[in-house]
Structure 1
Amino acid sequence: MVQITLPENYGAAVAVALGVIPVLGFIHGCITTGLRKAAKVPYPHCYATVEQCKENAKAEQFNCAQRAHSNFLENAPQTMLFTLVAGLKYPQLAAGISAAWVVLRALFLYGYIYSGKPQGKGRMLGGFFWLAQGALWGLSVFGVARDLISY
């Protein structure tokens, strides 16, 4: 029989990783889907063409939303995993850094879509999410390595 003991505040890390991050993903999807109709980009096409973007500003906005959503989907799974692993040793710190990641990702989304800056350059508003993601990775590695060394 294997017994796993979780730290007292682990629920905070779980709440962010398995609650808040998926909700942000849902918001991404809703925004992207809403902009698709205005952009006149039919399924199964993922992006508006250059010609569509020249004719319709909403097409460019849709492309920015689609790219922000894709970038989120590329990064969310590892961030969720890092939060859960780091939370085994540092639950409150992992939850806090992960919450910061969510706020920065929301700023990234907002800036990418609604800033009005060309080529989605408004995304830089939340671009520091990489620092939070790196911190979670570091906490995960440090926590696991520390336990492995102690054996």
Structure 2
Amino acid sequence: MTTATLALPSDYGYVCLVLFATVLIHHFYMSFSVGAARKKYNVKYPLLYANGDDEASKTFNCIQRAHQQSLENLPQFLAFLLLAGLKFPIYASIAGVVYLLGRIVYFAGYSTGDPNKRLRGAFMYFGLLFLYGAVVFMGVQLLRNGY
């Protein structure tokens, strides 16, 4: 039987804290906001979106869509955060915080009912692009001469 070990850098704790913040933002702040909007705009389960063209339906749908879009991107963010954090824990953590702050601004803007206000959170992509670059750098480095 072969065993493998993974040595984590001591600063990887910051990555763990960003991971926990991600749960707080996506599964508490955003989920509870959608739940409150569901109650406020009387959108019953199992409907994912409100039917209708009125302002209330539009606003609920914007709130729901903001959360849904965030969840759609969550797996790639987590994968890149965890991988980039192996080599660059401090930078990956900072990039993760930038991404999460952008997600909050994105969610808040979209939740106004004006979809264009979601663009205020577009700075989140600076964090995500850094994580992409860090993982590509790591991959190339591994292929060239090992970790």
> TM-score normalised to the size of structure 2?
0.90
1: distance between equivalents of 2:21 and 2:104?
A: 11
Q: State the 1:113 CA deviation.
A: 0.7
Which structure 2 residue ranges, 5 or more long, are not aligned?
none
Do structure 1's residue 36 and structure 2's residue 38 form an aligned pair?
A: yes
Could you tell me which residue of structure 1 aligns to residue 127 of structure 2?
132
Q: Matched residue pairs, number?
A: 143
Q: Equivalent residues in 2 for 1:43-54 (5 A)?
A: 43-49=45-51, 51=52, 53-54=53-54
Partner of 2:5, secondary structure, is: coil
Which structure 1 residue ranges, 5 or more long, are not aligned?
none
2: distance between equivalents of 1:108 and 1:6?
A: 32
In the TM superposition, structure 1's runs of 4+ consecutive aligned residues that sit over 4 Å from their partners are: none
Partner of 1:88, secondary structure, is: helix
Could you tell me which residue of structure 2 aligns to residue 98 of structure 1?
96
- Listed one character per residue, the Cα deviations across residues 35-89 of structure 1 (whole Å, up to 9, x for unaligned) are 012212211111112x2x41xx332221011100111101111111111100100
- Listed one character per residue, the Cα deviations across residues 76-129 of structure 1 (whole Å, up to 9, x for unaligned) are 111111111001000000000000100000000011113x53xx1110110222
Amino acid at match of 1:97: A
Do structure 1's residue 61 and structure 2's residue 59 form an aligned pair?
A: yes
2: distance between equivalents of 1:148 and 1:13?
A: 24
Of 140-149 and 6-15, deviating more is 140-149
1: distance between equivalents of 2:99 and 2:69?
A: 13
Q: State the 1:2 CA deviation.
A: 1.9
Structure 1 vs Structure 2 CA RMSD: 1.4
Q: State the 1:147 CA deviation.
A: 2.1
Could you tell me which residue of structure 1 aligns to residue 24 of structure 2?
23
Structure 1 contact 38–59 (Cα < 8 Å) conserved: no
Among all aligned residue pairs of Structure 1 and Structure 2, give the percentage whose two residues are the same amino acid: 31
